[in-house]
């Protein structure tokens, strides 16, 4: 996922200095505002301290408001240059400070940074509202929009004008004064609640551990034992610990023969954010949902889902329901068949009635080992982290002509992070930061973000991107990945390429600044190259012997791609469907969230053996920010695009087919300069078809 730090309608990005106006007013001693003389203009992490952020934000917001005031009060008639382009140039100090802070608090978020986050979230929301709800600014944009047909704009400029106007309208700029005032209040309240929700989840993930004695580690593969040892060492404890890092708890649930320990770990994992007291997220959810619903109604929509989907490829909740319903029915049928097979194995351990959710991964792995002669412990020695990262790099080289060179001279914020210069035949492209390991102060999951976005504003030097990938792999010596972990690395690197290959003029159109249900297409389609036999034969090598993954094992691995897809489909779709139901609810303030969850899953016919991938109280996609609210389905929609899109390479007979790769690169370069469906059709030659998705998941 992409981390966003919002103000106005833009993703926060940090742009190449010119020196900020704030710096010129005398705060150059603050390293966040002073010119950055580091390699490639990377943040000078060694100089930045938590106490620098609050004054830097204050100064940068003041500078930004002064720039906006000059635009809004200009005596000149509105033009694209003095209004839309001027807004694109504004706020550069704030973009730089916000991008640096947003990334650090997610990747390296100590208590001091979290305190700054709590302080700044409502202030930044209020700052954004002052701009997006300014009637003078909106009047200028409105006038340009009304006369856009006569302005002789280039296609990217016309789209930027239209999207900017829509952004103002969706922010509430067209409301009366009372409506704008209320909208600003909603924005501030939501910013505070989103921050509190995310910090509560991080607290629970950091707070819980389960110590394992010798009996507890018995039967675990060596890589899981090493992971539990590393987790204990990171916390200054002896022995072995299970933590709530996904990269550790999922292997533990898969391989531990101790049903009692699996249950304890699973219950801790699925009850994050659900503990009575100061870190309980359950009371926050109805408040967040009610505020979103109120915002939607202020803007003339019946509910938040309709508001969100009006600006998406799907268009309406009904279209989402058709897609999710079709796949849900097929996935649930397959999950029922899988459950029966798992129970036949579990009965050997005395489980005769029904497997429990904490049993599924364990018995699925045993069935996979039996039916495909394949198990994760057998595969993992062939998937060493540095080799898989190199595979992702070299794939980008073959597809897009990119090279990646380690640059130890670039400052980084943690010893885990490695910096790479990205180049192509024309020279420097950008900087890529890889931050792969789980840490107690790092948010869970995996995501891509940017410290600086690509742009080439007319009349100014171009700005090269600085992109970061975050994963949460369990550290080892060496670090060995599951095939799912390796897929995650490729997924996030696909997002990174979307940012690195961007070739746009205006920052609001750069890289991943696209509609939510299109942003996952570049990441998900990139996963397919990990499965290419050429990739596996070259990079899946035993970490001790350097022997390649045997062809027979490759064949079994690829044959097993559709194994357990009923479980994977149901686990994901239950969360996506619940997301839509929550944002369609007519009275969300009244919700008892646990009761609603129980009743919604009963209506769906949720198999009792499977739990949702994200229960509401730790569903950070929805409640740590608004980016995926009423939009979690977008991973499925993007899977339609990626399955159908990769077929273009298969139809060409070569996963590295040059002409097809060139068309895909055009999609990645275009950002939001064109409609995403138009881009996809140009790449594929026709609209996407859902049949490829069902086939790839093995649901037909």
pLDDT tens digits for range 48-94: 999 999 999 999 999 999 999 999 999 999 999 999 999 999 999 99
- What's the pLDDT band for 415 if we cut at 50, 70, 90? very high
Of the residues 495, 512, 529, the one at which a domain ends: 512
Would you say residue 401 has pLDDT above 50?
yes
Three-state SS sequence of 558-581: HHHHHCCHHHHHHHHHHHHHHHHH
| The residue to which tokens 């200095």 are assigned | 17
> Does the residue 688 lie in any domain?
no
> Does the residue 645 lie in any domain?
no
Instruction: Tell me, yes or no, whether 41 and 188 share the same domain.
Output: yes
DSSP-derived 3-state class of residue 605: coil
Q: What is the average pLDDT across 475-489?
A: 94
Contact status, residue 408 vs residue 419, Cβ threshold 8 Å = yes
Q: Which of 338, 492, 520, 609 is catalytic?
A: 492
Dig out the tokens for 19 from the structure.
């020196």
- Looking at residue 376, its pLDDT comes to 85
Instruction: Tell me, yes or no, whether 174 and 229 share the same domain.
Output: no
- Looking at residue 28, its pLDDT comes to 62
- Active-site residue flag, 371: no
> Does the residue 449 lie in any domain?
yes
253: closest CA among 606, 571, 639? 571
134: closest CA among 93, 95, 162, 175? 175
Instruction: Tell me, yes or no, whether 29 and 165 share the same domain.
Output: yes
Would you say residue 164 has pLDDT above 80?
yes
Contacts 24+ apart (CB under 8 A), 599-607: 601/574, 604/328, 604/574, 604/577, 605/332, 606/570, 606/574, 607/332, 607/335, 607/336, 607/339, 607/570
Contacts with 556 (C-beta within 8 Å, 6 or more apart), sequence order: 372, 373, 374
Q: What is the average pLDDT across 437-450?
A: 93
Q: Which CATH number covers residue 500?
A: 3.40.390.10
- Looking at residue 70, its pLDDT comes to 98
Would you say residue 312 has pLDDT above 80?
yes
Beta strands 418-424 and 427-437 are: antiparallel
Burial 441-477 (b: 16+ CB within 10 A, else e): bbbbbbbbbbbbbbbbbeeeeebbbbbbbbbbbbbbe
- What's the pLDDT band for 700 if we cut at 50, 70, 90? confident
Instruction: Tell me, yes or no, whether 240 and 177 share the same domain.
Output: no
Would you say residue 133 has pLDDT above 70?
yes
DSSP-derived 3-state class of residue 268: helix
Q: Which structural domain range is residue 450 located in?
A: 382-512
- Cis-peptide, bond into residue 478, ω within 30° of zero: yes
CA 271-277-279 angle, 5° bins: 60
Of the residues 512, 545, 567, the one at which a domain ends: 512
Q: What is the average pLDDT across 127-139?
A: 98
Q: Which residues share a beta bridge with 434?
A: 418, 469
Per DSSP, 651 falls in state: H
pLDDT tens digits for range 573-617: 999 999 999 999 999 999 999 999 999 999 999 999 999 999 999
- Looking at residue 689, its pLDDT comes to 87
Would you say residue 342 has pLDDT above 60?
yes
pLDDT tens digits for range 272-300: 999 999 999 999 999 999 999 999 999 99
Instruction: Tell me, yes or no, whether 394 and 463 share the same domain.
Output: yes
Give the number of other CB atoms < 10 A from CB of residue 235. Answer: 12
- Looking at residue 694, its pLDDT comes to 87
Q: Which residues share a beta bridge with 397?
A: none
Per DSSP, 473 falls in state: E
Instruction: Tell me, yes or no, whether 181 and 217 share the same domain.
Output: no
Dig out the tokens for 420 from the structure.
């790479």
Instruction: Tell me, yes or no, whether 48 and 189 share the same domain.
Output: yes
- Looking at residue 593, its pLDDT comes to 97
Provide the mean pLDDT of the chain. Answer: 94
> Does the residue 471 lie in any domain?
yes
Instruction: Tell me, yes or no, whether 44 and 190 share the same domain.
Output: yes
Q: At what angle do helices 246-255 and 357-372 cross, to 10 degrees?
A: 70
Q: Which CATH number covers residue 182?
A: 1.10.1370.40
Of the residues 480, 512, 544, the one at which a domain ends: 512
Give the number of other CB atoms < 10 A from CB of residue 585. Answer: 20
Number of domains into which the chain is organized:
3
Distance CA 626, CA 292 (A): 9
- Looking at residue 10, its pLDDT comes to 34
Distance CA 684, CA 643 (A): 12
Instruction: Tell me, yes or no, whether 419 and 444 share the same domain.
Output: yes
Instruction: Tell me, yes or no, whether 447 and 502 share the same domain.
Output: yes
Would you say residue 402 has pLDDT above 60?
yes
Distance CA 405, CA 419 (A): 8
Instruction: Tell me, yes or no, whether 72 and 106 share the same domain.
Output: yes
> Does the residue 610 lie in any domain?
no
Note the pTM of the prediction, 2 decimals.
Answer: 0.93
- Looking at residue 375, its pLDDT comes to 84
> Does the residue 183 lie in any domain?
yes
pLDDT tens digits for range 622-663: 999 999 999 999 999 999 999 999 999 999 999 999 999 999
> Does the residue 135 lie in any domain?
yes
521: closest CA among 637, 672, 628? 637
Give the number of other CB atoms < 10 A from CB of residue 174. Answer: 17
Would you say residue 463 has pLDDT above 50?
yes
Instruction: Tell me, yes or no, whether 95 and 239 share the same domain.
Output: no
> Does the residue 297 lie in any domain?
no
- What's the pLDDT band for 9 if we cut at 50, 70, 90? very low
Distance CA 511, CA 672 (A): 8
């Amino acid at each position: 996922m992409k981390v966003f730090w919002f103000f106005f309608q833009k993703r926060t990005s940090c742009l190449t200095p010119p020196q900020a106006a704030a710096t010129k007013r005398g705060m150059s001693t603050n390293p966040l505002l002073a010119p950055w003389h580091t390699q490639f203009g990377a943040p000078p992490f060694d100089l930045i301290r938590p106490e620098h952020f609050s004054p830097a934000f204050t100064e940068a917001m003041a500078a930004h408001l002064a720039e906006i005031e000059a635009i809004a009060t200009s005596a000149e008639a509105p033009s694209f240059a003095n209004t839309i382009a001027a807004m694109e140039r504004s706020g550069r100090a704030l973009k730089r400070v916000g991008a640096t802070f947003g990334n650090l608090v997610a990747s390296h978020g100590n208590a001091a940074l979290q305190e700054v986050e709590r302080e700044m979230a409502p202030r930044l929301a209020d700052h954004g509202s002052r701009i997006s709800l300014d009637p003078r600014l909106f009047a200028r944009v409105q006038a340009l929009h009304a006369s856009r047909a006569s302005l002789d704009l280039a296609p990217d400029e016309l789209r930027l004008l239209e999207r900017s106007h829509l952004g103002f309208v969706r922010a509430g700029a067209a409301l009366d004064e009372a409506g704008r005032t209320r909208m600003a209040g909603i924005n501030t309240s939501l910013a505070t609640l989103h921050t509190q929700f995310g910090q509560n989840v991080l607290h629970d993930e950091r707070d819980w551990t389960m110590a394992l004695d010798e009996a507890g580690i018995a039967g675990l593969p060596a890589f899981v034992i090493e992971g539990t040892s590393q987790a204990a060492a990171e916390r200054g404890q002896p022995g072995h610990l299970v933590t709530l890092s996904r990269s550790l708890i999922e292997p533990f649930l898969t391989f531990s023969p101790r049903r009692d320990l699996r249950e304890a770990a699973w219950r801790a994992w699925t009850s994050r954010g659900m503990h009575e007291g100061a870190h309980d997220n359950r009371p926050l959810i109805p408040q967040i949902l009610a505020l979103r619903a109120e915002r939607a109604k202020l803007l003339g929509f019946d509910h938040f889902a309709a508001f969100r989907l009006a600006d998406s490829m799907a268009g309406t909740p009904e279209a989402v329901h058709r897609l999710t319903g079709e796949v849900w029915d097929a996935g649930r049928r397959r999950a029922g068949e899988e459950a029966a097979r798992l129970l036949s194995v579990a009965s050997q351990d005395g489980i005769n009635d029904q497997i429990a959710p904490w049993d599924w991964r364990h018995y699925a792995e045993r069935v996979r080992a039996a039916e495909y002669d394949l198990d994760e412990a057998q595969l993992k020695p062939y998937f060493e982290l540095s080799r898989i990262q190199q595979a992702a790099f070299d794939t980008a080289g073959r597809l897009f002509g990119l090279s990646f060179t380690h640059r130890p001279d670039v400052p980084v914020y943690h010893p885990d992070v490695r910096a790479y210069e990205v180049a192509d035949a024309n020279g420097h492209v950008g900087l890529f930061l890889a931050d792969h390991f789980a840490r107690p102060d790092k948010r869970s999951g995996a995501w891509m973000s940017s410290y600086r976005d690509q742009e080439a504003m007319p009349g100014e030097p171009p700005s090269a991107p600085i992109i970061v990938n975050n994963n949460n792999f369990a550290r080892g010596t060496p670090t060995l990945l599951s095939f799912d972990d390796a897929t995650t690395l490729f997924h996030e690197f696909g997002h990174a390429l979307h940012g690195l290959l961007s070739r746009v003029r205006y920052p609001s159109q750069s890289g991943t600044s696209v509609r939510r249900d299109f942003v996952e297409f570049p990441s998900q389609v990139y996963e397919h190259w990990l499965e290419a036999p050429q990739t596996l034969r070259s990079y899946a090598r035993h970490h001790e012997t350097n022997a390649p993954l045997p062809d027979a094992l490759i064949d079994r691995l690829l044959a097993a791609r559709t194994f357990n897809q009923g479980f994977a489909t149901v686990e994901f779709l239950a969360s996506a469907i619940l997301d839509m139901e929550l944002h369609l609810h007519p009275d969300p303030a009244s919700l008892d969230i646990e009761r609603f969850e129980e009743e919604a899953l009963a209506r769906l016919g949720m198999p009792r053996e499977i739990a949702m991938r994200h229960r509401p109280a730790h569903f950070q996609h929805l409640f740590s920010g608004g980016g995926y609210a009423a939009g979690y389905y977008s991973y499925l929609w993007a899977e339609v695009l990626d399955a159908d899109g990769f077929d273009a390479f298969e139809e060409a007979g070569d996963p590295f087919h040059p002409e097809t790769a060139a068309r895909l690169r055009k999609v990645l370069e275009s950002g939001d300069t064109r409609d995403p469906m138009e881009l996809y059709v140009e790449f594929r030659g026709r609209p996407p078809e859902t049949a490829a998705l069902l086939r790839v998941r093995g649901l037909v």
